[in-house]
């Protein structure tokens, strides 16, 4: 929007604090190459447009806002003479994409001194060469420092996750190795027992019945019910007593295996009816090996399935084989992050999932959202110390999707609540946090996804709420979205 041109007075320009140290010759150049413009209430420039001018307020009221999702959020309102905004980084040139980082409007007739970006850049380099070098160093140094520490934060998180994943993988892998070694031993004994039975006084019909019982036994193992400790103990006593009555040696040792497989006295009666009493002990021993091999194979299957599940969760978490920006089911992302952090949460933290599975997929950067979940879950686990409950809830909130992390820790003190999203602010001991977790989370949610990140806290009930638009604009291709306005 263009204003109405007005005469430029070097004396008036020189009364603004930004220019009060300039010489008469310099003020004359500013008036010659710049201009004074009067704007009626309304917009002056829009966020994202090419930054062509540097604005200094002479009189009136200015409002700066940032776009968050589909809303413009006011960040500065001022009537102070001399406040400035616009093409403030023109002196850096094309090394930074020169666009307005905010929108500006005026609420009453307002006059600005307006300097073209090219002139602003030229006078900065001519009049303040040392200041330009210092500002460039500050600007790029800050960017590099933030990027480096952000990368370290991600590496620290990755190291913690890798350690937890290694621990989680080690348990089922070790179980599978143990079960495989035991299975090899049981199969060898089973072969030996089969040879003994084959050389014994079994007719064809008895062997056929025994093999049929073996098949049905294997099927029962796969469908074994889960018994309470008391139920299991009672069944073991009954089986052990029956085996002793039938002259089967070491019945007390066999009984727990049969109970684990879901077998009872009724099943043993079927075995006894199929064979002669004198060969019953050998038949029971052979079927015991059958049960053990089935249980061991089930254990190996469970262990390898767990390993496969962990690997899938790691792939889902890292998103290495996925598009960086796509529609995602947040529940898949949350589940993979919880799996990756399960070693850190351990048994001390009870995780409750309160998901609304009817929620649609949302356009997002899934790998970066996983980083947000990791930061918030890690903070909740740290806050709860020796233990508590972490509730992860999803719901619809108007035209946005809500993901809430609720912990039962002591809460965030009111005096620091406004600072927790600031870079480098942390309540963790030295060496345990960089203070960038929530800052990075804020940038990912608010700047990159045009969403919201809020905290509500009371002792025993702290909730970090992430709000994501159900629809979003195409992913940004330009540089970062840092707010860089001054008032």
Two tokens, residue 10? 């070097």
CB-CB contact of 53 with 35 (8 Å) = no
Q: What is the pTM of this model?
A: 0.47
Q: What is the pLDDT of residue 58?
A: 92
Highest mean pLDDT pick, 263-277, 297-311, 433-447, 471-485: 263-277
pLDDT of 427 strictly over 60 = no
Query: pLDDT digits over 153-189, tens only?
Result: 555 555 556 655 665 666 677 777 777 877 777 777 7
Lowest mean pLDDT among 5-9, 45-49, 140-144, 343-347: 140-144
Lowest mean pLDDT among 278-282, 405-409, 413-417, 481-485: 481-485
The band of 476, judged by pLDDT with boundaries at 50, 70 and 90, is: very low
pLDDT of 331 strictly over 80 = yes
Comparing 346 with 65, the larger pLDDT belongs to: 65
Where do the domains of the chain lie, and which CATH numbers do they carry? 4-127 (2.60.120.10), 162-308 (no CATH), 322-469 (3.30.565.10)
Comparing 437 with 401, the larger pLDDT belongs to: 401
CB-CB contact of 44 with 76 (8 Å) = no
How far is the C-alpha of 482 from the C-alpha of 440, rounded, in Å? 12
pLDDT of 141 strictly over 90 = no
Q: In the predicted model, what is the mean pLDDT of the chain? A: 77
Of all residues in the chain, the percent with pLDDT exceeding 90 is 14
pLDDT of 192 strictly over 80 = no
Query: pLDDT digits over 196-243, tens only?
Result: 666 666 667 767 777 777 777 777 777 777 778 888 888 888 888 888
Phi, psi of 357 (to 5 degrees): -70, -5
Comparing 432 with 261, the larger pLDDT belongs to: 261
Of all residues in the chain, the percent with pLDDT exceeding 70 is 74
Query: pLDDT digits over 384-425, tens only?
Result: 888 899 999 999 998 899 999 999 988 877 766 666 766 554
């Amino acid at each position: 929007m263009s204003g109405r041109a007005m005469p430029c007075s070097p004396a008036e320009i020189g009364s603004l604090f930004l220019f009060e140290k300039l010489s008469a010759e310099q003020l004359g150049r500013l008036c010659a190459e710049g201009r004074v413009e009067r704007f009626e209430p309304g917009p002056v420039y829009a966020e994202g447009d090419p930054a062509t001018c540097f604005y200094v307020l002479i009189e009136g009221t200015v409002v700066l806002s940032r776009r968050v999702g589909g809303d413009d959020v006011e960040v500065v309102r001022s009537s102070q003479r001399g406040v400035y905004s616009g093409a403030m980084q023109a002196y850096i040139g094309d090394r930074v994409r020169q666009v307005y980082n905010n929108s500006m409007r005026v609420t009453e007739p307002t006059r600005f001194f307006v300097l073209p970006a090219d002139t602003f850049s030229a006078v900065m380099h001519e009049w303040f060469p040392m200041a330009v070098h210092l500002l460039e160093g500050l600007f790029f140094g800050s960017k590099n420092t933030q990027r480096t520490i952000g990368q370290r934060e991600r590496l620290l998180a990755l190291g913690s996750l890798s350690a937890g994943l290694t621990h989680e993988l080690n348990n089922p892998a070790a179980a599978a190795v143990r079960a495989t070694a035991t299975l090899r031993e049981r199969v060898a004994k089973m072969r030996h027992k089969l040879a003994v039975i084959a050389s014994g006084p079994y007719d064809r019909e008895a062997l056929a019945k025994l093999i049929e019982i073996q098949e049905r036994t294997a099927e029962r193992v796969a469908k074994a019910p889960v018994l309470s400790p008391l139920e299991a103990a009672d069944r073991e006593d009954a089986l052990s007593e029956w085996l002793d009555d039938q002259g089967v040696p070491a019945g007390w040792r066999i009984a727990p295996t049969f109970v684990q497989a879901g077998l009872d006295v009724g099943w043993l009666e079927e075995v006894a009816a199929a064979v002669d009493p004198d060969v019953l002990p050998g038949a029971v021993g052979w079927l015991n090996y059958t049960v053990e091999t089935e249980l061991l194979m089930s254990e190996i299957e469970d262990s390898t399935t767990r390993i496969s599940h962990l690997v899938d969760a790691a792939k889902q978490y890292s998103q290495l084989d996925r598009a960086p920006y796509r529609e995602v089911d947040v529940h898949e992302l949350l589940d993979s992050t919880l799996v990756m952090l399960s070693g850190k949460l351990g048994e001390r933290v009870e995780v409750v999932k309160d998901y609304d599975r009817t929620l649609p997929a949302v356009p997002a950067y899934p790998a970066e959202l996983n980083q947000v979940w990791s930061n918030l879950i890690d903070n909740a686990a740290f806050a709860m110390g020796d233990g508590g409950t972490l509730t992860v809830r999803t719901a619809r909130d108007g035209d946005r999707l809500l993901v809430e992390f609720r912990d039962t820790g002591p809460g965030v003190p009111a005096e620091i609540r406004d600072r927790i999203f600031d870079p480098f602010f942390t309540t963790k001991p030295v060496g345990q946090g960089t203070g960038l977790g929530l800052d990075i989370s804020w940038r990912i949610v608010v700047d990159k996804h045009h969403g919201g990140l809020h905290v509500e806290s009371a002792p025993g009930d702290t909730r970090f709420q992430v709000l994501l638009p159900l629809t979003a604009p195409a992913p940004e291709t330009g540089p970062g979205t840092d707010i860089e306005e001054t008032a």
